[in-house]
């Protein structure tokens, strides 16, 4: 596909900034091999074109003054069998900002321009190497926080979602062709597709799209994660529990009540899902303005949490502040964590059992780290209840894809109602076309320039 502004040659550093063993410069475009021949010297680099995907060992030399910049490994990937679909050169330099920066400047001085964010992947999309859903999976792969999210992104990169969407689109394209034939040749008096069959076809595709939307609803947490709030009175051990779950002393722990006055956030992986732990201020009676603000924030997070760890001091009886939190807790997504189980117990377990299922009351000791295996197990159970398991061929985690599917479903439902009400096929066909447009936004056939700009702006430079 020839697109204005995408026929030049671009270059960028494709590895993270900083000192490292290796830094990679990527060049893509019609002049990529010519630039390589200008600045790269190796006794074996004589074939024209160069051997595809072969690592050449040689030197980067400035042709203007013959100054040696680095000894490198260089690989050439001819079009169309490269990541971008254009001729691509990758130069493996020694890592370090100064050295790799000097080589990039030399590449730019000899015919390339600096690539923008996501421009290599955008060229892969323009050249048909990836569709838009696969291109989005690239950034999901880079940003994945858990092994489950990584596997989901890898499946999407292989085209699992695209195949499902394309199957629906192909069925709708065939249906619309039949509808248009009925519209174009009404004088023949022949129903190329009976209304009942058209209605059945529409219902069938609605079913497929509803299944994808339900999948998206249950799977969104693999990308966006779940918020888990640790709540309770001061000095019950909330910060200690967070530190044990993290395996790191992230929250300050002292014997002084009220050490935590703001919300402290860290993320862990539970059952393959990113779980954001929120350590909150202790709930108690106070006239201190800072403590009051902290408690207001704690209660706000408590009310909006996906999961709550409600912490009690097992060595003390329940009091009015414990009861306040019990009355505000979410009924199905809360675990009672009875801390300080290594001390003599005085909490009223019978009262707690009025608020919690027995297996959602978990005694732990943050001091001795006992009971945390059971706590992680209960957390995983609640996480799995909120998220579909990361199995199957398609897991949808993108809000954009979900919105496009919802738009397609709405259009097909209108098309079915029109067909069922014996309205003209022109109306049915128009709604089917709208559904096709919505589905095309997922794979890129109908995505606007604004959508493309928004998607590829999320990428780092060099990808």
- Residues 405, 437: Cα–Cα separation, whole Å: 10
pLDDT computed for residue 352 by the predictor: 84
CATH H superfamily, domain 10-130: Probable tRNA modification gtpase trme; domain 1 (3.30.1360.120)
Tell me how far apart the terminal alpha carbons of the chain are, to the nearest angstrom.
Answer: 20
Whole-structure pTM value: 0.73
The burial class, CB within 10 Å (0-12 / 13-18 / 19+), for 344 is exposed
Strand partners, 75: 90
Q: Which of 393, 438, 409 is nearest to 163 (CA)?
A: 393
336 in Cβ contact with 352 (< 8 Å):
yes
Phi and psi of 21, rounded to 5°?
-65, -40
Distance in angstroms (rounded) separating the CA atoms of residues 83 and 134: 12
Helix %, strand %, coil % for the chain, to 5?
45, 15, 35
Domain residue ranges of the chain, discontinuous segments joined by +: 10-130, 138-219+397-443, 223-386
CB 297 within 8 A of CB 216: no
CATH topology of domain 138-219+397-443: 1.20.120
In the predicted model, residues of the chain with pLDDT beneath 70 are 1-6, 185-192, 249-263, 281-302, 330-331, 388-393
> 313 pairs with which residues across the strands?
339
Which residues lie below 8 Å from residue 132, measured CB to CB, with a gap of 6+?
A: 125, 441, 442, 443, 444, 447, 452, 455
Between the CA of residue 191 and those of 184, 196, 430, 432, what are the distances in Å? 12, 11, 18, 18
Assign a CATH topology to domain 223-386: Rossmann fold (3.40.50)
Give the DSSP letter string of 249-275.
Answer: --S---SSTT---S-EEEEEEETTEEE
pLDDT at site 378? 92
Asked whether the bond before 49 is cis by omega within 30 degrees of 0, the reply is yes
Q: For 422-445, what is the HEC assignment? A: CCCHHHHHHHHHHHHHHHHHHHCC
């Amino acid at each position: 596909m020839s697109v204005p502004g995408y026929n030049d040659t671009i270059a960028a550093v494709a590895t993270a900034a900083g000192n490292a063993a290796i830094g990679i410069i990527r060049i893509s475009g019609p002049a990529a091999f010519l630039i390589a021949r200008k600045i790269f010297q190796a006794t074996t680099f004589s074939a024209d074109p160069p051997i595809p995907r072969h690592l050449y060992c040689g030197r980067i030399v400035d042709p203007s003054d013959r100054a040696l910049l680095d000894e490198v490994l260089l690989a050439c990937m001819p079009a169309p069998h490269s990541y971008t679909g254009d001729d691509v050169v990758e130069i493996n330099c020694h890592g370090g900002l100064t050295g790799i920066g000097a080589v990039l400047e030399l590449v730019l001085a000899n015919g390339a321009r600096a690539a923008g964010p996501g421009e290599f992947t955008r060229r892969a999309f323009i050249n048909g190497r990836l569709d838009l859903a696969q291109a989005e999976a690239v950034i999901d792969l880079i940003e994945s926080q858990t092994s489950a999210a990584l596997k989901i992104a890898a499946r999407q990169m292989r085209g699992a979602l695209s195949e499902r969407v394309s199957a629906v689109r192909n069925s709708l394209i065939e249906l619309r062709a039949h509808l248009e034939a009925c519209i174009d040749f009404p004088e023949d008096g022949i129903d190329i597709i009976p209304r009942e069959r058209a209605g059945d076809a529409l219902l069938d595709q609605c079913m497929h799209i509803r299944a994808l939307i339900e999948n998206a609803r249950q799977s969104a947490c693999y990308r966006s994660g779940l918020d888990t709030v640790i709540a309770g009175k001061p000095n019950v051990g909330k910060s200690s529990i967070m530190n044990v779950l993290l395996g790191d002393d992230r929250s300050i722990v002292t014997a002084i009540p009220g050490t935590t006055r703001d919300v402290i956030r860290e993320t862990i992986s539970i059952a393959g899902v990113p779980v954001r732990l929120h350590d909150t201020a202790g709930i108690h009676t106070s006239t201190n303005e800072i403590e009051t603000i902290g408690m207001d924030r704690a209660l706000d997070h408590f009310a909006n949490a996906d999961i709550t760890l409600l912490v009690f001091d097992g060595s003390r009886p329940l009091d009015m502040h414990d009861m306040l939190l019990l009355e505000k807790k979410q009924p199905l997504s809360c675990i009672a964590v009875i801390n300080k189980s290594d001390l003599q117990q005085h909490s009223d377990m019978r009262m707690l059992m009025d608020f919690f299922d027995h297996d959602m009351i978990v005694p732990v000791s943050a001091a001795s780290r006992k009971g945390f295996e059971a706590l992680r197990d209960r957390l995983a159970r609640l996480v799995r209840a909120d998220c579909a398991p990361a199995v199957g061929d398609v897991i949808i985690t993108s809000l954009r894809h979900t919105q496009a599917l919802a738009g397609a479903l709405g259009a097909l439902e209108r098309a079915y109602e029109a067909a069922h009400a014996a309205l003209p096929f022109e109306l049915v066909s128009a709604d089917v076309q709208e559904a096709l447009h919505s589905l095309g936004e997922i794979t890129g056939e109908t995505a606007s320039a604004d959508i493309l700009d928004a998607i590829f702006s999320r990428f780092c430079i060099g990808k």
